[in-house]
Protein backbone atom coordinates (compact mmCIF):
# COMPACT_ATOMS: atom_id res chain seq x y z
CA UNK A 1 0.00 0.00 0.00
CA UNK A 2 0.98 3.61 -0.43
CA UNK A 3 0.23 4.82 3.08
CA UNK A 4 1.63 4.32 6.57
CA UNK A 5 0.59 0.95 7.93
CA UNK A 6 0.27 0.14 11.64
CA UNK A 7 -0.39 -3.15 13.34
CA UNK A 8 -2.25 -4.32 15.25
CA UNK A 9 -5.14 -1.90 14.87
CA UNK A 10 -6.38 -2.84 18.34
CA UNK A 11 -4.61 -4.39 21.28
CA UNK A 12 -6.04 -5.31 24.65
CA UNK A 13 -3.52 -6.39 27.24
CA UNK A 14 -3.38 -7.04 30.95
CA UNK A 15 -1.56 -4.67 33.24
CA UNK A 16 2.05 -5.72 33.62
CA UNK A 17 2.39 -7.37 30.21
CA UNK A 18 4.70 -6.14 27.45
CA UNK A 19 3.35 -5.01 24.07
CA UNK A 20 4.92 -4.29 20.69
CA UNK A 21 3.41 -1.93 18.16
CA UNK A 22 4.57 -1.95 14.58
CA UNK A 23 4.78 0.78 11.95
CA UNK A 24 5.55 0.48 8.23
CA UNK A 25 6.23 3.97 6.87
CA UNK A 26 5.76 5.20 3.34
CA UNK A 27 8.56 3.88 1.15
CA UNK A 28 11.34 6.44 0.77
CA UNK A 29 10.37 8.49 3.81
CA UNK A 30 13.46 8.99 5.94
CA UNK A 31 11.75 10.47 8.97
CA UNK A 32 9.45 8.48 11.26
CA UNK A 33 7.52 9.66 14.29
CA UNK A 34 5.51 8.12 17.09
CA UNK A 35 2.75 10.12 18.74
CA UNK A 36 0.00 9.07 21.09
CA UNK A 37 -3.46 10.42 21.72
CA UNK A 38 -5.05 9.77 25.07
CA UNK A 39 -8.79 10.16 25.50
CA UNK A 40 -9.80 13.78 25.06
CA UNK A 41 -6.22 14.92 24.53
CA UNK A 42 -4.19 16.19 21.63
CA UNK A 43 -1.37 14.38 19.91
CA UNK A 44 1.60 13.90 22.22
CA UNK A 45 5.05 13.55 20.63
CA UNK A 46 6.95 10.45 21.73
CA UNK A 47 9.99 9.90 19.52
CA UNK A 48 11.48 10.86 16.16
CA UNK A 49 13.72 8.78 13.88
CA UNK A 50 15.90 10.04 11.07
CA UNK A 51 16.95 6.92 9.28
CA UNK A 52 17.65 4.33 11.96
CA UNK A 53 18.78 6.75 14.63
CA UNK A 54 16.57 8.54 17.12
CA UNK A 55 17.92 12.04 17.75
CA UNK A 56 14.93 12.93 19.89
CA UNK A 57 13.45 10.54 22.43
CA UNK A 58 12.35 13.31 24.72
CA UNK A 59 8.65 12.46 24.57
CA UNK A 60 8.93 8.90 25.82
CA UNK A 61 6.98 8.99 29.13
CA UNK A 62 9.19 6.55 31.05
CA UNK A 63 11.94 3.99 30.65
CA UNK A 64 9.25 1.37 30.09
CA UNK A 65 8.90 2.81 26.59
CA UNK A 66 11.44 2.11 23.86
CA UNK A 67 11.48 2.17 20.08
CA UNK A 68 13.72 1.05 17.31
CA UNK A 69 13.82 1.36 13.56
CA UNK A 70 15.62 -1.02 11.26
CA UNK A 71 16.68 -0.72 7.63
CA UNK A 72 15.45 2.84 7.56
CA UNK A 73 11.98 1.42 7.34
CA UNK A 74 9.93 -0.54 9.88
CA UNK A 75 9.71 0.74 13.43
CA UNK A 76 8.60 -1.00 16.61
CA UNK A 77 7.41 0.76 19.76
CA UNK A 78 7.69 -1.45 22.83
CA UNK A 79 5.97 -0.80 26.12
CA UNK A 80 7.13 -2.96 29.01
CA UNK A 81 5.09 -3.73 32.10
CA UNK A 82 2.08 -1.86 30.76
CA UNK A 83 0.04 0.35 33.09
CA UNK A 84 -3.54 1.52 32.73
CA UNK A 85 -2.37 5.06 31.99
CA UNK A 86 -0.66 3.70 28.86
CA UNK A 87 -4.10 3.18 27.30
CA UNK A 88 -4.25 5.44 24.25
CA UNK A 89 -4.15 5.46 20.48
CA UNK A 90 -0.55 5.21 19.31
CA UNK A 91 -0.01 6.92 15.97
CA UNK A 92 2.93 6.51 13.66
CA UNK A 93 3.77 9.04 10.97
CA UNK A 94 6.44 9.38 8.33
CA UNK A 95 7.67 12.29 6.27
CA UNK A 96 9.92 12.67 3.31
CA UNK A 97 12.76 14.48 4.99
CA UNK A 98 12.09 15.43 8.60
CA UNK A 99 13.34 18.96 8.01
CA UNK A 100 10.19 20.52 9.33
CA UNK A 101 8.98 21.40 5.85
CA UNK A 102 7.48 18.05 5.01
CA UNK A 103 3.99 17.22 6.23
CA UNK A 104 3.59 14.14 8.36
CA UNK A 105 1.58 11.28 6.92
CA UNK A 106 -0.12 9.27 9.62
CA UNK A 107 -1.22 5.68 9.91
CA UNK A 108 -4.58 4.77 11.39
CA UNK A 109 -3.05 4.05 14.76
CA UNK A 110 -3.07 1.22 17.27
CA UNK A 111 -5.67 1.50 20.00
CA UNK A 112 -4.09 0.09 23.14
CA UNK A 113 -6.27 -0.84 26.09
CA UNK A 114 -4.62 -1.95 29.31
CA UNK A 115 -7.00 -3.74 31.65
Interface residues with other proteins (CB under 8 A) are 4, 31, 33, 35, 41-45, 48, 50, 56, 91, 93, 95, 98-101, 103-109
Rounded-to-integer distance, Cα 1 and Cα 14, Å: 32
Report the C-alpha dihedral over residues 84, 13, 19, 86, rounded to 10 degrees: -20
Q: How far is the CB of 42 from other proteins (least distance, A)?
A: 4
With respect to other proteins, which residue has the nearer C-beta, 1 or 42? 42
With respect to other proteins, which residue has the nearer C-beta, 1 or 14? 1
With respect to other proteins, which residue has the nearer C-beta, 79 or 93? 93
Rounded-to-integer distance, Cα 96 and Cα 83, Å: 34
Q: How far is the CB of 6 from other proteins (least distance, A)?
A: 8
User: Which residue in 49, 12, 15, 90 sits closest to 78, CA to CA?
Assistant: 90
Amino acid sequence: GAGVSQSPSNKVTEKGKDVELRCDPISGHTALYWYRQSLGQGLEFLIYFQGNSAPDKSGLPSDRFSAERTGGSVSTLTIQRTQQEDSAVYLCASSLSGTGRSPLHFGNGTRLTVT
